[in-house]
């Protein structure tokens, strides 16, 4: 009789232990899944925040023109889009969402011209540009499919001897289309961008950037962010 009771107690103990082990295992698995989800969300958030900060930093410089007392004549006027010195255009590639492309210029190396090098203290010869490396101070970002692309203008895309109309080609709507050095800003195997939009605010004194994306392998993990950048040089 005692042996029977002992066996019954043992069986009950084993059943309870198995149930507890199952509960603990499920709890541990759930914790692992939750931790994995948190890690992936933080990964996406960090990457999109880094991206929008990069865009904001670049756009904040749009239209910057350094003062150079040694410079006789600058070529900046060849790239300005209106009489007020507009240095930024918001448009979109053909068949792309509205306001999903931004093109702009600024004096990256602070030499007073658009371009890297010039001779005889001038960037102009009459109405013609003579500065070299102008493509390195022409910038852009756009949405293409589900990826942000950044514009790395090819040297051959803009003539080093351009005049007004030709110099401005890199800052017109057609430059938002394929060609001219557009390259992926993010790893397309990791991330998808579903929304990128640029909107002028405060009567053109600022620009709002909207950005939404997700992980390519986990489309349910999505992150949305935005920021407003002052356009001090416009």
Whether 20 is covered by a domain: the verdict is no
Mean pLDDT value of segment 10-16 = 76
Q: Does the pLDDT value for residue 7 go beyond 90?
A: no
Q: Report d(CA 188, CA 180) in Å as an integer.
A: 20
Pick from 7-21, 125-139, 181-195: least confident: 7-21
Whether 6 is covered by a domain: the verdict is no
First to last CA, the chain: 96
pLDDT of residue 118: 87
User: Which range marks the domain in which residue 179 is found?
Assistant: 38-230
Whether 9 is covered by a domain: the verdict is no
Whether 17 is covered by a domain: the verdict is no
Q: Does the pLDDT value for residue 171 go beyond 80?
A: yes
197 forms beta bridges with 210
Whether 120 is covered by a domain: the verdict is yes
pLDDT of residue 1: 46
**DSSP output for the chain:** -HHHHHHHHHHHHHHHHHHHHHHHHHHHHHHHHHHHHHHHHHHHHHHHHHHHHHHHHHHHTTT-----TT-SB-SGGGT-SSTT---EEEE--TTSPTT-EEEEE--TT-SSSSSSB-BTTBSEETTEE--B-GGGGEEEEEEETTEEEEE---GGGS-TT--HHHHGGGGSGGGGSS-SSEEESS-TTTEEEEEEEEEEETTTTEEEEEEEEEESS-TT-EEEEEEEEE-TT-
In this structure, the number of other CB atoms found within 10 A of the CB of residue 193 comes to: 22
Q: Number of folded domains in the chain?
A: 1
pLDDT class for 25, splitting at 50, 70, 90? confident
Mean pLDDT value of segment 118-139 = 92
The percent of residues above 70 in pLDDT, for the chain, comes to: 95
- φ/ψ (deg, to 5) at 221: -90, 105
Mean pLDDT value of segment 123-152 = 93
Q: Does the pLDDT value for residue 56 go beyond 80?
A: yes
Whether the Cβ atoms of residue 149 and residue 184 lie closer than 8 Å to each other: yes
Whether 130 is covered by a domain: the verdict is yes
pLDDT of residue 197: 98
Q: Does the pLDDT value for residue 119 go beyond 70?
A: yes
Pick from 25-29, 53-57, 228-232: least confident: 25-29
The pLDDT mean for the chain works out to 90
């Amino acid at each position: 009789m005692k042996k029977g009771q002992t066996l019954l107690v043992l069986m009950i103990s084993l059943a309870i232990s198995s149930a507890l082990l199952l509960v603990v295992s499920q709890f541990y698995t759930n914790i692992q899944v939750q931790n994995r989800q948190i890690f992936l969300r933080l990964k996406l958030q960090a990457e999109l925040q880094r991206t929008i900060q990069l865009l904001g930093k670049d756009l904040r410089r749009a239209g910057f023109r350094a003062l150079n007392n040694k410079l006789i004549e600058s070529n900046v006027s060849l790239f300005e889009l209106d009489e007020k010195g507009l240095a930024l255009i918001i448009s979109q590639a053909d068949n792309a969402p509205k306001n999903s492309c931004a093109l702009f210029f600024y004096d990256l190396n602070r030499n007073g011209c658009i371009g890297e090098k010039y001779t005889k203290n001038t960037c102009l010869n009459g109405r013609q540009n003579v500065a070299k490396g102008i493509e390195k101070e022409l910038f852009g970002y756009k949405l293409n499919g589900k990826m942000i692309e950044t514009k790395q203008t090819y040297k051959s895309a803009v003539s080093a001897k351009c005049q007004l109309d030709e110099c401005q080609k890199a800052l017109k709507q057609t430059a938002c289309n394929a060609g001219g050095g557009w390259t992926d800003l993010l790893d397309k195997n990791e991330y998808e961008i579903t929304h990128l939009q640029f909107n002028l605010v405060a009567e053109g004194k600022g620009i709002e950037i909207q950005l939404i994306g997700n992980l390519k392998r986990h489309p349910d993990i999505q992150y949305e962010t935005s920021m407003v950048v002052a356009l001090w040089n416009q």
